[in-house]
Amino acid sequence: MEITRIREEDRASYDPVLAQYLEAKAAADRANDNLKVAQAALLEYMREKHMKSMSHTREGLKRQVTFVQRETYEIDEKGLKKELTAKVFNRFTSPKLDRKKLEAAMNEGAVDTMLVAKHTKTKQSEPYLKFTEKEVNDEGEDR
């Protein structure tokens, strides 16, 4: 899809669509903010009452909320390597491709760029809308 700037004479056809998007975006932002506040209050309530889950049934529909707090372990690899010695520590590690070093080697000619290109894939993301907001003066220019 080719992206082009919309000409001023086409503005009348896209203004309603843009206005609909902006209205929906504002409503979604407000709803998201309200959800964050309500979620924080519910988390605090459940934490105080030591509740794992809560549910509400209405008109045959049960809605349940479960308090989840995951635990992950972070290993101080530098400290562990020092304690175990590098020789023992290296038995539990694996080498990883350093892209900056590879690019430098390609720039120097030490690695053939065509060889690397053969093993490189380009992945396109799903298209999305980026929303930005900024203040402008009465003439529509940035402040």
In a domain, 128, yes or no: no
109 sits in the region (left: phi over 0; alpha: psi -120 to 50; else beta) called left
Structure confidence at residue 48 (pLDDT):
94
C-alpha separations of 68 from 41, 49, 51, 62 in Å: 15, 14, 11, 19
In a domain, 97, yes or no: no
In a domain, 56, yes or no: yes
Range of the domain at 48: 8-71
Residues counted in the chain: 143
Number of domains in the chain: 1
In a domain, 80, yes or no: no
24/4 Cα distance (integer angstroms): 24
In a domain, 53, yes or no: yes
In a domain, 117, yes or no: no
Structure confidence at residue 4 (pLDDT):
59
Structure confidence at residue 37 (pLDDT):
95
In a domain, 113, yes or no: no
111/103 Cα distance (integer angstroms): 9
Is the pTM here over 0.75, yes or no? no
In a domain, 110, yes or no: no
pLDDT values of the chain reduced to their tens digit, one per residue, 143 residues: 555 566 666 666 778 888 889 889 999 999 999 999 999 999 999 999 999 999 888 888 888 999 998 888 888 889 888 888 888 888 888 888 889 999 999 999 999 999 999 998 988 888 776 777 777 776 666 66
